[in-house]
Amino acid sequence: MKKLLGFLLPTITALMIVILVVFVYYPWVGEVFASRVKITEKKDNLTILQAKAQVLQDLDEKQVENYLLELELLVPSQPLPGYLLSTLEDDANLSGIIIKDLQYASTAVQKEKVVLGFLIEGDIEQQKYFLELLKKDAPLMEVSKVDLLKDQAEGALFTNSVLLSSPIQSIPESLSAIETPIEGLSTKDQDLLKKIRDFELLELGGEETKVQTEKPQGKADLFTL
Amino acid sequence: MRQWTQLKRTTNLSSVAISVILLIVTLALFLVRQNVLADESDLEEKVNQQRQIITQKKSLEGKLLSVKEKLQVLAAHIELSVNQREILADIFDLESENYHITKAVINEERLVEIEGEASDYQNIADFLLQLKQKDKYIDFRVKEISWDADSQSIDYKLKFTLKQ
């Protein structure tokens, strides 16, 4: 018995090794490795988020709002038939052409665009001017198809069958995941934004009406002369 | 007996040494683990901070996204409309006494078809040459040319595509 007691310490040490390996080292090492993987992922994530947050912080919200308002006039979020037709009417009046067979129905709204077909009648110069005016119109209008039919009876007059399409771009209903990177306004975007002013936009607001804050006041003391 | 005592002593000493090493290893592993966990927690906090900033600017992100989408439409429009209007202007400019254009079609696939009348073949050749000089039309094809004896004119049908 005394002999066996002499091996008590090595036995305890051996048991301790087993216990430590099974219950401490193995879970801890596993935890450290798992954390390392998570840290690498989080670092990547953080880089993306920091870049995104920086882009958003560098933007002037008021300016972006103004850009959006101006772009809304060029590329509306929903069909604006009244606005579209009145623009065409103005162009026709300015160029002197006659618009015929123009009808707007709900069927005109197709995949992210309003499609309008009509006839225009006028001489070459008038038609060229009309097309030139379309180029600068807001909302945007693309001539997607033209049938030029010379009116033999009228000599110099042409009847042109035009198919116009005006793009629509709806406002996004939901945003992508928070980790999805975004880009700020690039130089190309800035150049395009400068071109917005080339189009005939409606006046946006104008001078703000000043609210009269000072009320008319009478005498401080009514009983003095 | 002496050997037995020697063995016992060596074993006990080894056990003590192993215990000390185990203690050091455990301590080191504990420190490494704490350090890694602290790093992870620190990163988590930073990620949450950035998420919070982005969430606060959600409305701005939506506006920016919308601006970018609309700008893409605008860019496509500017690029396309230049070519379409150029060709319309070209067709109108080419109309003359020598080659009357009776019909011109520009379809959505950017294919242009012109029909007209000319007094002789030389005029049609001139007309084609002028179009080629514009350097924006490709794939010329004369679809049809016919001579009308009554009107002393040649009817022509041309087909070509716009350069991309």
Beta bridge partners of A118: A162
Residue type, A56: L
Which range among A120-124, B87-91, B111-115 shows the weakest confidence by mean pLDDT?
B87-91
Whether the Cβ atoms of residue A168 and residue A79 lie closer than 8 Å to each other: yes
Residues within 8 A of B (CB atoms), A 153-172 only:
163, 167, 169, 171-172
Average pLDDT, chain B: 81
What pLDDT score does A19 carry? 94
pLDDT at B85 over 70: no
Whether the CB of A90 is below 8 Å from some CB of chain B: the reply is no
Peptide bond into A139 cis (omega under 30): yes
**Chain A interface disruption, residue of B88, B90, B153, B158, most A CBs within 10 A:** B88
Phi (first) and psi of residue B11, to 5 degrees: -60, -45
Query: pLDDT tens digit string along B1-44?
Result: 778 788 888 888 888 899 999 999 999 999 999 999 999 999 99
For each of chain A's 225 residues, which pLDDT tens digit applies? 666 666 788 888 899 999 999 999 999 999 999 999 999 999 999 999 999 999 999 999 999 999 999 999 899 998 888 888 888 999 999 999 999 888 787 777 777 888 888 888 888 788 878 888 888 888 888 877 777 665 554 556 677 788 888 889 988 888 888 889 999 899 999 999 988 888 877 554 444 333 333 344 444 554 444
Distance CA B161, CA A74 (A): 29
Please give the pLDDT value at position A155. Answer: 59
Residue owning tokens 């995941």 = A177
Chain B residues with CB under 8 Å of A20 CB are 22, 26
CB contact, 8 Å: A185 with chain B?
yes
Does B15 contact A53 at a Cβ distance shorter than 8 Å?
no
pLDDT at B82 over 50: yes
The ipTM value here is: 0.76
Locate the chain B residue with the closest alpha carbon to A18. B22
Contacts of A117 in chain B (CB under 8 A): none
* Cβ–Cβ below 8 Å for A196 and B74: yes
Q: Say which amino acid occupies A46.
A: L
Which residues of chain A make contact with B80, given a CB cutoff of 8 A? 142
Q: Which has more confidence, B137 or B27?
A: B27
pLDDT band at B108 (very low <50, low <70, confident <90, very high): low
Q: Which of A9, A53, A148 is the closest to B101 by Cβ? A: A148
CB atoms within 10 A of CB A33: 11
Task: Name the strand (E) or helix (H) holding A66.
Answer: helix A61-74
What pLDDT is stored for residue A209 in this prediction? 33
CB proximity A197 to B under 8 Å: no
Neighbours of B140 (CB within 10 A): 12
Q: Which of B115, B111, B161, B106 is nearest to B136 (CA)?
A: B161
The two tokens of residue B42 are 């620190």
Contact B66 A68 (CB under 8 A): yes
> What pLDDT does residue A223 have?
46
Whether chain B has a CB inside 8 Å of the CB on A67: the answer is yes
Q: What is the pTM of this model?
A: 0.71
